[in-house]
Structures are given as structure tokens and as C-alpha cells.
Structure 1
Amino acid sequence: MNSGSGRSAAQRALELSTRVSFNGLAEAPERGFSLITHWNQQYGLCHVHLADDGGYALASPPVGLIVFWWLGRPVAHRWCADGGSEPLAGQIDSHVLELIAAEEQRAGAAQLGASVVICTRDRPDQLRRCLASLPQQTWQAREVIVVDNASIGRRTRDVAHEAGAIYLREERPGLDFARNTGARAASSPILAYTDDDVLLHPTWLERLVAAFDTPTVAAVTGLVLPAELATDAQEHFEKHWSFGRGYLRQDFDTARFAQHRVDVFPAWEIGAGASMAFRREIFERIGYFDERLDVGQAGCSGDSEFWYRVLAHGLSCRYEPRAVAFHVHRRTLDGLASQIHHYMRGHAVALLVQWERTGIAANRRQAWLGMPRWYAGRLWHRLRGLCRPQDRFLREEVLGYLSGLLFYLRHRREGS
């Protein structure tokens, strides 16, 4: 199978796998053929363009995660535990492809100007890679704002200036302090947030902005895929803590939110903070990110608490998988263990902040009763010798959650 330039697919894939950017994913394949556009076994990932009818056939199946693309967007994935010597062939469900095609037909064009905000701390090399993916965007940001959350030294400032970004420094430690600093400085109707450990597909910003097609849509999130799965820690995270929320658009509105008055609405299912955007006016209406949450403070969930607040104020959130970003997961098990500890620490605090801000009692019940009972059940299964892959970091989860309850008690607002 040859590409349009006469090179073999393997040669083209090898070339693409050495690029820093993900330009290859935006290139159109030959019509009617499966085409591997990004494959490097070292990274445990394979991106494949499907044939026109949704079929695929790989002569040498890779080991790891295969992401299938169709009509210029991801539409499905599968895990391959053993590449084997037999060809891998199959077909994506036709009903799924019909839904994808209908979404593409309905998709509108980007209309609003956008500011991109990147919050960072002491990761100048990762920041440089993220910034390098912004000039390739098909919808250019009016401004790029780098918020330095008290990095040591000048490298972060230098990287931001080299990229032509607006550089701001926020001395108070905490991701939500930095997010709010960026929000207050931005001048565009749409604020798009990403992280310094993210690479952006060329259509990322255009498709995020285009998803604000009705006034009630106040927040939009995108599909976040792994940039690599080179280590055990990265593979575990993707299998059990993935940022991906599926390949079809989802709208989260007041009716859907109202169905969860007895239990807690799962706002974390709306998306990931690594790829999210908001109407700038929403901050004046419902407030800014709660600065007790997320990295540097409670540890996580500043994004999901804000989406929860958006819905509680009668507005809508949208998950738009046409907007694609690639996240570099933690590479070491120690790093992943710390991440999971802080995820559950932040989750505990977010539940109580959501109750504090909205008065919805289900959050308080879940924080003090529901989650402890859930963990007690999982610990009981562990004591009986039932070891499941998702319980690999159960100790970190439990200790993180308990730490979160204590954090909230020390930082709760008066009258709560």
C-alpha cells in the first residue's frame, strides 16, 4: 500500500512518528484505504484512518492502543494485547458511523474570537512543545496567555516570550489561582484552556469555538487522547482513569442536571481540564474557579466543580469530541500514585464545595456517607483476596479521599 507520494505506509508512518507535532493526523488518506498515519511501537499507540466504508486491515497489528479516524476525527479505538503475526481486520459499527456523519453535516463554522490560556509551573520544555502546536491551528487565537504559577527561574518566561505569548505571573500556588488570573486578563469572547503537557490537533481551537453555536452553551470540552503509552503507568491511567469521554457529542443541560437531585450529578464526565473553553461573560455571572481546588491546593476537580456550577445556574455544557488534544500522562508509577492520591483528595473537597455553593444536599451525603461506604466495600473485597486492576492504587485513593475531607474542614467558608 503506497501513500500519495509513492512512499510506503510504513515509511510514512516512521517519518510521522518522529515529528514533534501531530500534523500527520490532519492529512487526508487515500480514499478507500486504511492508512496508518502515526505509529511508533515505542509509544504504544497507532492512529489509523479508516476506509470509506469504515473498514480497516492491518498487515502487522501493533501492541497497544489503536485509534481509528474517519472524516478527519477519531471515531473508535481498540486495545491489542498481542500484535501477533496474523493481519488485523474489522469494521466500525455502521450505526456509529451514521451518527458521526450526521454530526459532521450539522457542524457549523467557528464565529467567535478566542483567547488561549495555558497555566504552567516549572515545565518549560513541555510548555514549549504545547506552544509550538498553536501556530498550526486552523482558527488562530486572538491572544495566547501563559500564566506562570510561581516557577523557579526565568525559563518559563523566556519560553513564553519566544512564542510571542502574553506572559503573566501568579505568585499564589494553585492551578485555579492561575486559571483565574488568565480569565481576568483575557479579552476575547471565548476562553480556551489547555495544559502545558498537551499537544493540540490543528483543528482543536476551531472546533471548540464552533461548538458554541447557541447562547445557552456556556462551556465546551474536547476529546483528550493519550500522546503516548510508553510505560506501565501511562497504560494503567488510560485504561482506568482516561480523560476520553467517547466519540459522540454530548450535551449536558438543566434537564439532565435535574435528574440527579437525589444523587450527585457526575460533572467529571463532562470532559477534562486539559481541553475546555468558556464564554468569558460566564465568569461575571457565576464567579471564577474555586481557588481551594485543583493542583497546588486540594489537588483536583477545579474544572468539574465549575461545570457543575454552570449547570446549577441553568446553563449548558457540551462535550465536543471533534476537538482533539493529546495529553502526556505521567510516565512513572510513583508519579501516577501521587496523581491518583490528589485526584481523590480534590474529589472529596469538590463534593463539599458543590454543596456549599449550591445547597444541593446530595453532594454532602455523597462526601460523608456514599464515598466512605463505597471505599469500605472495595477494601472488604481486597481483604477477601479479590485483587482487581482498578484497585491497584486503592491505598492512595482512600488516603487521598480522607485527606480531602480534612482539607475542606480546614478551608470551609464561614457558615458552611
Structure 2
Amino acid sequence: MEPFAKAHDYPIGVVIPTYNRIDTLLICLKHLEVQTWKDFEVIVVDDGSMDSTAQVMKEYQAHAPFPFRFLTQPNGGPARARNRAIRELNATACLLLGDDIFASPDLVRLHCEHHRSHPETNAAAVGLTRWSAEGQTVTPFMRWLDRDGAQFAYGDLLRGVSPSWEHFYTSNLSLKADQLRRHPFDERFRWAAMEDIELGYRLAIEKELVMSFLPDAVAEHLHPTSFRQACRRMVGLGASAHLLGEIWPEHRIKSVSPIKLKLRSLLQQAWVLARLTDAADLLTHICVPNPLMERVLSLHSTLGYQQAAQRANSSSLPTP
């Protein structure tokens, strides 16, 4: 494959933000070491880790088998970390991976080939991410999250649904680097929740996004997730959904009837929600999906949304 743009040193570069996951990050890099396509660079940005990431990565940098740079920043979230790396990237296309994502041997090649075949600025490609069978037990609940649940919707893509901004998943996603420099991630998103979807939506409404799905560009995801962990994540997701609605009012949660609002408030009382979560957790070990499981996840998301709204309202009040 000939480089498709001669203005950069590499046809594609890999950007990986990381936070307190040095053991998993090393496995991620090991998978990049055995890629069939060799002409790429890698930039890892440490988002203020408190483990041994900085020391180990500096040692890795000394003998990395590919062009490698390690950057550090105070903790600011993955959006800021990605933007930092993208500014430094010397490649035509940018492949975004997570630090807990393990690339199959042809993954970089397939993304690179896509951008060679689609040199348009607005071309983007999402690969298939699935749970890793090594290092974790993949439960029925995790399979649901991955396929049709609150985390990803790869099931839609595998069934032939055309990818859109709603599938803008930065676990395994590539775009032109210049496009990402013109349209950076919104750094107001401090967590790994909806910062990617917001950018995908922004690009789409500006007619700057044409998505393709690469089902053979497979990556495995090592992130054991229990129902309770998913509930905690949904609180953060709800907070990010509030921010998304502040940025794009058309995505604000629609108002509900007073009766539904009263019922929701009752269910979100700490002791009620705790017992509902206990019951849903038990039921999830028996049957996935189930209505209680999905309802409790939704309640946690709404709770996060409401808490974020209260914080925003408090900060906007005039100081007495």
C-alpha cells in the first residue's frame, strides 16, 4: 500500500489516552507490535495517572518497535488527552483506540486501507469491538451491553444498519487527523461518556461525517463489567447527557407528566433505588435482558442527569 498523502510521515497514527491502567495498556501495545501493517506511529497520553504508567511508558519508549511518543497531562479526561495527541500527530489518518482495547493483527491495515480508498476529509470508519475472552468472564449481561445495551449497539451494525454519528465509538474509530484538528473533542466532557457521540453529532450536522463499518477490523475489549458497575457508569452517562443537552438543546430530555415525575422521584430515593438495584442484580444472574434490569439502569441515568442539572442551576445562581 502506497501512502495516500505525502504531507505527513505516516499514513496512519494511533492515539491512546490512558488513566491508571498500566497492565492493560501494555497488553494493548503488545497487540500493536504484531500488526501486519507496520507504517504507523503511536502516541499515548497519560491523563494524570497515579500508578506506574509514567515510569513504565518512559522505559517502553526507549525500545518501542514502532515510532512512539509518550505525553503526560494533569487529569482532564479522555477528550482533552485525545486532543493533545492529535495536535502532535504526524499522520494523515488518526486511529482512536482505548487503553483496554486489543487490536487484531489486521486492524491498523484495514483502517489504513479504508482511508486510502476514501481520501475525502469527511470519511470515518468504525471497527467491530467485542469483549475479550481472556482475562475476564464474559457474562450474558456484558454481551447485552455490547450488542444492544446502554454501552454499544454493534448488534445494529452487524444486522446491516448503516453506521451514523450514533456509532461514533472511540474504542476503534478512525478519521483524518486534520479533520480532528479542525473539529476537536469538547473538553467540557471530563469522563469517558458521550464525548465521542457529541463530536460525531457535531460533524454530522455540519455535513462533515460519512461513516463506514469495518466488521473485519476487530478489537477485543478487556473491561469486566458487573450490573452494579454498569449502574455507576449510567450515573456518569446521565451527567454527560445533561451536558450534551446544554450544548445541543434538541437532545435535552423531554419533560414528563407530573405523575411520572412523582413516581420517578419516589423510585430514585436512595433506599428505594438501592433495593431495586439489589433485586435487578439478582435477576440479571438469571435472565438477560429483563424489564427490571433495564428500568434500574434508566433510573441511574436519570439520577445522574438530574444531579448534573442541579449542579448547573446552583452554579448559575447569583452570589448573595
Superposed counterparts of 1:83-232, under 5 Å:
111=4, 113-159=11-57, 161-162=59-60, 164=64, 165-212=68-115, 213-228=118-133, 229-231=137-139
CA distance 1:408–1:185, change in 2 (3 Å): farther
What is the root-mean-square deviation in Å for CA atoms of aligned residues? 3.3
Aligned to 2:211: 318
Aligned to 2:230: 336
Unpaired stretches in structure 1, ≥5 consecutive residues: 1-107, 253-266, 356-360
Residue of structure 2 aligned with 1:389, choices 273, 293, 302: 293
Higher relative contact order (CA 8 A, sep 6+): 2
CA distance 1:153–1:325, change in 2 (3 Å): closer
Structure 2 distance, partners of 1:168, 1:403, is 33
Residue of structure 2 aligned with 1:404, choices 304, 308, 319: 308
Alpha-carbon deviation of 1:111? Answer: 4.1
Residue identity over aligned pairs, in percent, reads 21
Structure whose alpha-carbon radius of gyration is higher: 1
Structure 2 distance, partners of 1:407, 1:189, is 41
User: Which structure shows the bigger proportion of residues in helix conformation?
Assistant: 2
Secondary structure of the 1:402 match is helix
Instruction: Provide Cα deviations, 1:133-175, integer angstroms capped at 9, x if missing partner.
Output: 1022222352111100001143344146426231100114211
Aligned to 1:88: none
Contact 2:37 2:108 in 1 (8 A): yes
Secondary structure of the 1:221 match is strand
Structure 2 distance, partners of 1:180, 1:411, is 27
Structure 1 distance, partners of 2:129, 2:44, is 20
Structure 2 distance, partners of 1:154, 1:196, is 15
Contact 2:86 2:181 in 1 (8 A): no
Letter in 2 for 1:403: Q
Aligned to 1:289: 185
Aligned residues between the structures: 273
Alpha-carbon deviation of 1:249? Answer: 7.6
Alpha-carbon deviation of 1:123? Answer: 0.7
Residue of structure 2 aligned with 1:306, choices 194, 199, 203: 199
Contact 2:121 2:176 in 1 (8 A): no
Off by >6 Å, runs of 4+ in structure 1:
none
CA distance 1:235–1:312, change in 2 (3 Å): closer
Structure 2 distance, partners of 1:236, 1:156, is 35
Letter in 2 for 1:138: T
CA distance 1:121–1:284, change in 2 (3 Å): closer
Residue of structure 1 aligned with 2:150, choices 223, 226, 241: 241
Contact 2:125 2:214 in 1 (8 A): no
Alpha-carbon deviation of 1:319? Answer: 3.2
Contact 1:343 1:400 in 2 (8 A): yes
Are 1:250 and 2:162 counterparts? yes
Contact 1:249 1:319 in 2 (8 A): no
Contact 2:16 2:96 in 1 (8 A): yes
Structure 2 distance, partners of 1:290, 1:198, is 22
Letter in 2 for 1:362: E
Alpha-carbon deviation of 1:376? Answer: 4.1
Secondary structure of the 2:198 match is helix
Structure 2 distance, partners of 1:306, 1:111, is 25
Unpaired stretches in structure 2, ≥5 consecutive residues: 6-10, 268-275, 277-289
The TM-score normalised by the length of structure 1 is: 0.58
Aligned to 1:327: 221
CA distance 1:325–1:111, change in 2 (3 Å): farther
Instruction: Provide Cα deviations, 1:97-135, integer angstroms capped at 9, x if missing partner.
Output: xxxxxxxxxxx9984611101101111001011111102
Letter in 2 for 1:304: I
Instruction: Provide Cα deviations, 1:35-59, integer angstroms capped at 9, x if missing partner.
Output: xxxxxxxxxxxxxxxxxxxxxxxxx
Structure 1 distance, partners of 2:236, 2:141, is 16
Superposed counterparts of 1:344-363, under 5 Å:
344-353=238-247, 355=248, 361-363=249-251
